[in-house]
């Protein structure tokens, strides 16, 4: 956990199955996601690359900087620009998310 003047981030494994779908196509499905909880933001699931259909993703030129997590790289799919991001060199406090993919929309799938 990291906390800076009221801003807190936690990262850890969670025992759920999550799926990312775009226009009916499953882009990722994982039983071993990490959940990142950050003050003022929705919970985000970070999925290991082995559970992501990277063959469907196209690297984007977009990058963003978060003072708490580091620099993010983005990927797109047809019809959805910058739908996916990852931190290749995250800050030490969130090192667990390194190279894990995060989607704007994921769903928890009941077993």
Q: How many Å apart are CA 28 and CA 101, to the nearest integer? A: 9
pLDDT at 1 over 90: no
- Condensed to tens digits (0 to 9), the pLDDT of residues 14-27 reads 999 999 999 999 99
Residue 71 neighbours by CB under 8 Å, 6+ apart = 63, 64, 65, 87, 88, 89
CATH code for position 104:
2.170.150.40
pLDDT at 2 over 80: no
Expressed as residue numbers, the domain containing 94 is: 2-109
Instruction: Quote the pLDDT of residue 93.
Output: 92
Q: How many domains does the chain have?
A: 1
Instruction: Quote the pLDDT of residue 25.
Output: 93
In this prediction, residue 106 has a pLDDT band, given cuts at 50, 70 and 90, of: confident
Is there a contact between 60 and 68 (Cβ–Cβ < 8 Å)?
no
Task: Quote the percentage of the chain above a pLDDT of 90.
Answer: 86
């Amino acid at each position: 956990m990291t906390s800076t003047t009221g801003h807190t981030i936690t990262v850890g494994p969670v025992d759920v199955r999550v799926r990312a779908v775009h226009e009916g196509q499953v882009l990722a499905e994982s039983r071993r996601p990490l959940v990142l909880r950050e003050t003022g933001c929705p919970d985000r699931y970070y999925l290991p690359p082995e559970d992501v259909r990277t063959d469907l993703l196209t690297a984007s030129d977009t990058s963003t900087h978060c003072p708490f997590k580091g620099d993010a790289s983005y990927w797109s799919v047809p019809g959805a620009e910058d739908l996916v991001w990852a931190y290749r060199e995250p800050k030490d406090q969130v090192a667990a998310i390194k190279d894990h993919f995060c989607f704007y929309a994921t769903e928890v799938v009941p077993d």
